[in-house]
Amino acid sequence: MPEKADISRTLLLPFMSIILLVAVYMTANVLLPLKASGKGSKESEDVQERQHLSDDAGDGEVVEMNINFSEKCIVIDSGHGGADPGKVGVAGTNEKEINLAIAKKLQERLEDAQINVIMTRDTDNDLSVESDKSKKKADLERRCDIINSSGADMVISIHQNSYVTPKAEGAQVFYYKKSEESKRIAQIMQGILGEKLGTTRQIKSDVNYYILLHSKLPTIISECGFLSNPEEEQRLCTEEYQEKVADALYCGIIEYLMMNMK
């Protein structure tokens, strides 16, 4: 009997070893896929994200947009200047100063995008000379001379508004009613101003603005706000809001240029 027990133990030990090896193998195969599946899920999410970005390109590949605006030109007309203050706000703000401040900020953004910019004025001056009998008319005529000889893609004239009631507020875009292209720009710009500045005003055609009437190029006038509204006048005097207005005007111009490049 003792000999038979020894034989049984001798036969049992290898068998037990085999069972143990099988158990270890099965455990490893259960645990490893769990870890792998976790990693696989992360990779799957990454792939989905890349696919989503790829789908935005429309052809299954990630495409980096690289638009060349170097042949584009914009005229920025900063209204009034010099002896002509333009509208005067309830707190005494001169329109000409706000116009020029926004115009320069817009110029900087456009030039950063490699767009050529022509300014009708970049200092506190008008375009009349001492010998001009009608300085206002001479100023406007010379602005139009600059515009019409520029070969620009479009013109934006920057102004501020005023009204008899202090409640009037918001940016508004004007265009010459006989120019469909100017109307198109006005619609784009008013939409952007609505998105970025919260204005609910609509575009308006006009035949009285000298610049609109005598410009041979697509032209809009952007009245950026009402100096007759105390709160809006205060906002327009701040660097932060001027930057915000310039951003909106820039986005409107870029959208128009890109639509024309399609």
pLDDT tens, residue by residue, 230-245: 999 999 999 999 999 9
The reply to whether the predicted model has a pTM over 0.85 is: no
What per-residue confidence (pLDDT) applies to 229?
99
Residues 6+ apart with CB under 8 A from 212: 174, 175, 176, 182, 206, 219, 221
Cβ contacts of 178 within 8 Å, gap of 6 or more: 207
Q: Tell me the mean pLDDT in the region 105-123.
A: 98
CB of 248 within 8 A of CB of 196? yes
Question: Can you give the pLDDT at residue 13?
Answer: 53
What was the pLDDT predicted at 66?
73
User: Model confidence over 146-159: pLDDT tens digits?
Assistant: 999 999 999 999 99
